[in-house]
C-alpha cells in the first residue's frame, strides 16, 4: 500500500499537494535531497546521518 493511502490520503496526488504545502517541496524533491546527502563523502560515517536528521527535523519544525 502506498504511503499516501496508509496515511489516510485519498490519492498520491492529494498527499503530494499536502506535502508541498507543509514542507515547501515535493516528496520526490525531499527524497532526492536526502539521497544526495547520503552520498556525500565524509570521514565520519555518522556525520551524514546527523545532518540528515537535523534537516528532517527542520522540515517538521515549519
**Opening angle at CA 11, ends 31 and 8, nearest 5:** 90
- Between CA 24 and CA 27 the distance in angstroms is 10
pLDDT digit string (tens) for 26-60? 989 988 888 887 777 766 767 777 877 887 788 77
Residues with Cβ within 8 Å of 45's Cβ and at least 6 positions away in sequence, in order, are: none
Q: What is the pLDDT of residue 38?
A: 75
Amino acid at each position: 500500500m502506498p504511503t499516501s493511502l496508509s496515511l489516510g490520503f485519498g490519492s498520491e496526488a492529494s498527499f503530494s499537494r499536502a506535502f508541498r504545502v507543509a514542507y515547501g517541496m515535493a516528496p520526490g524533491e525531499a527524497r532526492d535531497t536526502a539521497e544526495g546527502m547520503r552520498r556525500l563523502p565524509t570521514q565520519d560515517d555518522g556525520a551524514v546521518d546527523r545532518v540528515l536528521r537535523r534537516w528532517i527535523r527542520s522540515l517538521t519544525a515549519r
